[in-house]
Chains A and B, each alone.
Chain A
Amino acid sequence: MGQIATPATGVEKSRKALDRAVIRFAGDSGDGMQLTGEQFTTESAWAGNDLATLPNFPAEIRAPAGTLFGVSSFQLQFGSQRVYTPGDRLDCLVAMNPAALKVHLRDLKTGGLLIVNTQAFDKRNLDKAGYAANPLDEPALAERYRLHKVDMTGLTHEAIKDLPLNTKEKDRTKNFFALGLVSWIYTRPLEPTLTWIEKRFAKNMGIAEANTRVLKAGHAFGETAEIFAEHYAVEPAEMAPGLYRAMTGNRALAWGILAAAQRSKLPVVYGAYPITPASDILHELAMHKRFRVRTIQAEDEIAAVTAAIGASFGGAIGVTASSGPGVALKGEGIGLAVTAELPLVVLNIQRAGPSTGMPTKTEQADLMQALYGRNSEAPVVVLAPATPGDCFYIAYEAVRLAARYMLPVIVLSDGFLANGSEPWLIPNPDTLPPIEIAFRTEREGFFPYLRDPATLARPWVRPGTPGLEHRIGGIEKQDVTGNISYDPENHDHMVRTRAEKVRRVAQEISPTSINGPATGDLLVVGWGGTYGAITAAVERAQADGKSVASIHLRYLNPLPPDLGHILREYRKVLVPEINSGQLVRVLRAEYLVDAVGFNRVRGLPLASEEIFAAIIQLLGGQG
């Protein structure tokens, strides 16, 4: 094994200013990389940076230690300017074991900072990672990257040798060494992590003390070890003034539902069957009973959606969530809500498929399922959040539209948005649009399928309302009366009416905001979690003088009323998606535009670099 750095004292280090940095912590599933990344995120938020995160972990609960498939990582980009994505290429990689190095080294920029925990590079771990020889001994590694070999395990043990903890417990604190060290390198404040340790381990002072000491030891090591010649400062970003918090997509969806519950003054019945990556919404909502959210952990996906529909029939807000495989099972239930014309919100946290696919990996390939994945003509409203924080507004909007138009709304989030976080400007709840619920109580002239002239919504009647007893169901019914009807003309009319009701939601959509010139050579159209990558790529192309603009669709059905016009203002249209080309087909079919797709389906977010390359290529290749 090569030279190991030792701490020295009294060394003044130079501090370099950076605009942004991309860091990835990678290690074994048991190494606490998610926690390390989350704490580093909090520190960066405190430092006033804008940021975006990308957790990436195996589906196995306890994957075998040291293996390539057991590697867990957490990436974030933070900057003094607007940060749209977690970053493509890494400025700094922390590898806690050989497997982490093997899996992630390819993403590190040449000349990037590579910090490894030397003690983990033993024969056993090298074998598991498939290294014939220790890669740290390869001179090429140190030539290509700024390699820092640090015995984190040894230094951790040294820092807490007098504490009455066993070896395993001491080992487990080494992620705080890594955190302390990287916090020093990037001049992050330790306070938030120190406070967090104090709170988290309030009942176990021994562990709290160990983590605190190891964190500080890592920090001090950076300051004093001779190997780190310089460190970096990333100035606070210019962000809109106000109160911020870190927000993940799943939490934002849950809180959006809570906001809607409070505003509508209705209870929420949330039916769900645990599934990655949607389960956290269930966990979050289950903690907030005070909002009258009643969570049912249903026996299956079908029960989850039908319980929500039963609740809607009763005058509550029925919500269900799942990922693609579960939404497939809910299809018949969603169709019932379409024809019974009841409010229903379905959250789909998309993941890589088909079938079980790659449960912890992201994808946006359920758009067609959302639009068409039911028997017969069963149109629903489809919305998609653009960022983790946007999930809050989209969930709220989904409830509002479902209740106003009496129909199901599908929200397409994804694994990337669900687990990723961003600094989020906390909104004033009073500025959210009202959710006005007017249950019908008037007997005079009542029919279950009477229609509101503006929305075509039928009246929502709570059972228990005297004189309005009525029956609805899955059988086709006569418009207005709701009586069973097999009349051919009536069926045609009802099919069109249900579709028209969805189309009328377009009147709720604000004018599309265009990032760039209103007319030009190229328009990039995106939806969902690719917002950051697309925006970063487009802004880079604009900075290079290209005539490029982008729009990001949050309403996928109906599409914004001004979309057709906008598409025609550009010579070319590019649609980047993490699927084989779904939105692009819709746009081509709806608007007869020669839109082209940029498609990668790897279970990973799109990189802004590759979108940028696709933009340049479509514009004629000259970068």
Chain B
Amino acid sequence: MSPSEAGAKEAPRYTKKDFESDQDVRWCPGCGDYAILSAVQKTMPDLGIPKEDIVFISGIGCSSRFPYYMNTYGFHTIHGRAPAIATGLRVARPDLKIFVVTGDGDGLSIGGNHMLHVLRRNVNLVILLFNNRIYGLTKGQYSPTSELGKVTKSTPVGSADRPVNPLAFALGCGATFVARTVDRNIPHMDEMLKRAVAHKGTAFLEILQNCNVYNDLAWNVIYDRESKVQHELRLEHAKPLVFGPPDDRRAVIMQGVTPKVVRAKDVPESSLWVHDEKNVNAAKLIADLFAPDFPIPVGVLTAVDAPVYEDLMLEQEQKAISERGPGDIRKLLTSGDTWKIS
């Protein structure tokens, strides 16, 4: 089936309910995953994609239970391997819309290698990485995104590993779409999901998510009403990097090659840093911004066009078939050096 055939079907009319499966949701009460599930189910009807053409693939971890709760096709696989499974599926079935649901442990620790390669290949799929900075399903060990010195069951006097920044990692891998949203901001999550789905290539969406049992309020800096006003930087294409309360707007500007926070009114408009989603290098600098010294960027850091893995692969296949016809095993078997014995 060619990629275009998927679009040939008539866009059906769905409601959120059509995407709710009959399975009991088994996350802890109060988990941020509920909000994400609800947002995804709510966004789905707006995508105009037939339900049967949607596949959710996950690895292992709390987030990876996600496919069971979506009334689409789903595959809950093994720890860290969802990007590889999804790559194989996409190569076999470029007509499907594939979502990978993963977490900071699944996607950046045990599955870090696959994450690297799916991003550099630019396979056409959406990756939702729920980042709660902790291992939940195994009951509370630190994760690769936990802050240095994190005290957990496995690190009673503090962790010794420095954390990885998912956005910087994705950009370093050559990701063509990198964005961040927050589980407590449903409208923004909805907007980011739609942007990610519309992207051609691998769309990497980090969702800051709360684990209220093992790492409650890890993202409080952006949950707390007052702190959020102070720190949230909404990225919008062609808009300057300006944030903070209305009476105290601040801006991120470039001083040499280093970002710096200044009072917005202190700098001329011409020296503001205007966000450009097509500028991957700028996105790499934005990815590293974080509280308390900098704002916390949310939104699309970058969205650029690049060749898509399975498109190139299928073009090679189509070219071979159109030039020399489909494969014929009988001809192949008798090709080259043969001899007859009578």
Q: Which residues of A contact B (CB under 8 A)?
A: 42, 45-46, 48, 192, 236, 239-246, 255, 258-259, 261-263, 267, 269, 271, 288-292, 294, 296, 298-300, 302-303, 306-311, 313-316, 318, 332-333, 335-336, 340, 426-429, 462-475, 483-484
Q: Which residues of A contact B329 (CB under 8 A)?
A: 255, 258-259, 262-263, 291, 429
Q: Which residues of B contact A246 (CB under 8 A)?
A: 337
Alpha-carbon distance between A427 and B50 when the two chains are bound, in angstroms: 45
Q: A255-B329, A464-B52, A473-B77 are contacts. A310–B89 as well, Cβ < 8 Å?
A: yes
Q: Nearest Cβ distance between residue B56 and chain A, in whole angstroms?
A: 8
Residue of B nearest to A289 (CB): B320
Q: Which residues of B contact A464 (CB under 8 A)?
A: 1, 52-53, 73, 93, 95-96
Q: Nearest Cβ distance between residue B339 and chain A, in whole angstroms?
A: 5
Q: Are A240 and B73 in contact (CB under 8 A)?
A: no
Q: Are A294 and B341 in contact (CB under 8 A)?
A: no
Q: Which residues of B contact A236 (CB under 8 A)?
A: 341
Q: Are B313 and A294 in contact (CB under 8 A)?
A: yes
Q: Which of B21, B76, B91, B114 contacts A472 (CB 8 A)?
A: B76
Alpha-carbon distance between A244 and B334 when the two chains are bound, in angstroms: 8
Q: Which residues of B contact A46 (CB under 8 A)?
A: 339
Q: Which residues of A contact B21 (CB under 8 A)?
A: 471
Q: Which residues of B contact A468 (CB under 8 A)?
A: 52
Give the residues from 290 to 342 in chain B that come closer than 8 angstroms, CB to CB, to chain A: 313-314, 316-317, 320-321, 324-330, 332-334, 336-342
Q: A292-B327, A475-B76, A484-B68 are contacts. A315–B93 as well, Cβ < 8 Å?
A: yes
Q: Are B84 and A45 in contact (CB under 8 A)?
A: no
Q: Are A45 and B339 in contact (CB under 8 A)?
A: yes
Q: Are B341 and A240 in contact (CB under 8 A)?
A: yes
Q: Which residues of B contact A426 (CB under 8 A)?
A: 333-334, 338
Q: Are B117 and A303 in contact (CB under 8 A)?
A: yes
A-B contact pairs, 20 of them (CB 8 A): A48-B339, A241-B342, A244-B339, A245-B338, A255-B332, A255-B333, A271-B88, A296-B88, A298-B117, A299-B84, A303-B114, A306-B84, A311-B88, A311-B89, A426-B334, A469-B72, A471-B67, A471-B73, A471-B75, A471-B76
Residue of A nearest to B309 (CB): A296
Q: Are B333 and A316 in contact (CB under 8 A)?
A: no
Q: Are B337 and A303 in contact (CB under 8 A)?
A: no
Q: Are A311 and B84 in contact (CB under 8 A)?
A: no
Give the number of residues in B that approach A within 8 Å (Cβ atoms).
61
- Is there a chain A Cβ closer than 8 Å to B113's Cβ? yes
Alpha-carbon distance between A246 and B337 when the two chains are bound, in angstroms: 8
Alpha-carbon distance between A292 and B92 when the two chains are bound, in angstroms: 10
Top 8 A-B residue pairs of the complex, sorted by shortest distance between their CB atoms? A473-B76, A307-B88, A310-B88, A291-B327, A316-B92, A310-B85, A471-B74, A303-B84
Q: Are A244 and B84 in contact (CB under 8 A)?
A: no
Q: Are A303 and B87 in contact (CB under 8 A)?
A: yes
Q: Nearest Cβ distance between residue B333 and chain A, in whole angstroms?
A: 5
Given A303-B87, A464-B96, A471-B76, 14 other A-B contacts at CB below 8 A? A236-B341, A241-B342, A269-B91, A269-B92, A289-B317, A294-B313, A306-B77, A311-B91, A313-B89, A314-B89, A333-B78, A463-B89, A469-B72, A472-B75
Alpha-carbon distance between A220 and B170 when the two chains are bound, in angstroms: 66
Q: Are A299 and B317 in contact (CB under 8 A)?
A: no
Alpha-carbon distance between A554 and B105 when the two chains are bound, in angstroms: 43
Alpha-carbon distance between A393 and B338 when the two chains are bound, in angstroms: 19
Q: Which residues of A contact B325 (CB under 8 A)?
A: 290
- Is there a chain A Cβ closer than 8 Å to B57's Cβ? yes
- Is there a chain A Cβ closer than 8 Å to B55's Cβ? yes
Q: Which residues of B contact A463 (CB under 8 A)?
A: 52-53, 55, 73, 89, 93, 96
Give the residues from 107 to 150 in chain B that come closer than 8 angstroms, CB to CB, to chain A: 113-114, 116-117
Q: Are A466 and B50 in contact (CB under 8 A)?
A: yes
Q: Are A303 and B81 in contact (CB under 8 A)?
A: yes
Q: A463-B96, A464-B96, A465-B52 are contacts. A332–B88 as well, Cβ < 8 Å?
A: no
Q: Nearest Cβ distance between residue B15 and chain A, in whole angstroms?
A: 16
Alpha-carbon distance between A469 and B12 when the two chains are bound, in angstroms: 15
Q: Are A310 and B339 in contact (CB under 8 A)?
A: no
Q: Which residues of B contact A (CB under 8 A)?
A: 1, 21, 23, 50-53, 55, 57, 60, 67-68, 70-78, 81, 84-93, 95-96, 113-114, 116-117, 313-314, 316-317, 320-321, 324-330, 332-334, 336-342
Q: Which residues of B contact A292 (CB under 8 A)?
A: 317, 321, 326-327
Alpha-carbon distance between A306 and B114 when the two chains are bound, in angstroms: 11
Q: Nearest Cβ distance between residue B59 and chain A, in whole angstroms?
A: 10
Q: Nearest Cβ distance between residue A397 and chain B, in whole angstroms?
A: 15
Q: Are A48 and B341 in contact (CB under 8 A)?
A: yes
Q: Are A314 and B339 in contact (CB under 8 A)?
A: no
Q: Nearest Cβ distance between residue B323 and chain A, in whole angstroms?
A: 9
Alpha-carbon distance between A335 and B341 when the two chains are bound, in angstroms: 46
Q: Are A307 and B117 in contact (CB under 8 A)?
A: no
Most buried by A among B55, B60, B72, B327: B327
Q: Are A294 and B91 in contact (CB under 8 A)?
A: yes
Q: Are A474 and B73 in contact (CB under 8 A)?
A: no
Q: Are B77 and A336 in contact (CB under 8 A)?
A: yes
Alpha-carbon distance between A154 and B98 when the two chains are bound, in angstroms: 66
Q: Which of B71, B75, B92 contacts A294 (CB 8 A)?
A: B92
Q: Are B85 and A243 in contact (CB under 8 A)?
A: no
Q: Which residues of B contact A288 (CB under 8 A)?
A: 327, 332
Q: Are B52 and A306 in contact (CB under 8 A)?
A: no
Most buried by A among B89, B114, B325, B337: B89
Q: Nearest Cβ distance between residue B311 and chain A, in whole angstroms?
A: 12
Q: Nearest Cβ distance between residue A37 and chain B, in whole angstroms?
A: 15
Alpha-carbon distance between A46 and B321 when the two chains are bound, in angstroms: 33
Q: Which residues of A contact B326 (CB under 8 A)?
A: 290-292
Alpha-carbon distance between A258 and B330 when the two chains are bound, in angstroms: 11
Q: Are A290 and B77 in contact (CB under 8 A)?
A: no
Q: Which residues of B contact A310 (CB under 8 A)?
A: 57, 75, 84-90, 92
Q: Which residues of A contact B86 (CB under 8 A)?
A: 310
Q: Are B73 and A290 in contact (CB under 8 A)?
A: no
Q: Are A299 and B116 in contact (CB under 8 A)?
A: yes
Residue of B nearest to A304 (CB): B84
Q: Nearest Cβ distance between residue A188 and chain B, in whole angstroms?
A: 13
Q: Nearest Cβ distance between residue A607 and chain B, in whole angstroms?
A: 28
Q: Nearest Cβ distance between residue A45 and chain B, in whole angstroms?
A: 6
Alpha-carbon distance between A364 and B266 when the two chains are bound, in angstroms: 76
Q: Are B332 and A258 in contact (CB under 8 A)?
A: yes
Alpha-carbon distance between A263 and B328 when the two chains are bound, in angstroms: 10
Alpha-carbon distance between A298 and B92 when the two chains are bound, in angstroms: 15
Most buried by B among A335, A336, A464, A475: A464
Alpha-carbon distance between A413 and B336 when the two chains are bound, in angstroms: 24
Q: Which residues of B contact A308 (CB under 8 A)?
A: 88
Residue of A nearest to B26 (CB): A484
Q: Which residues of A contact B51 (CB under 8 A)?
A: 466, 469
Alpha-carbon distance between A292 and B51 when the two chains are bound, in angstroms: 27
Residue of B nearest to A237 (CB): B341
Q: Which of A261, A333, A472 contacts B81 (CB 8 A)?
A: A333
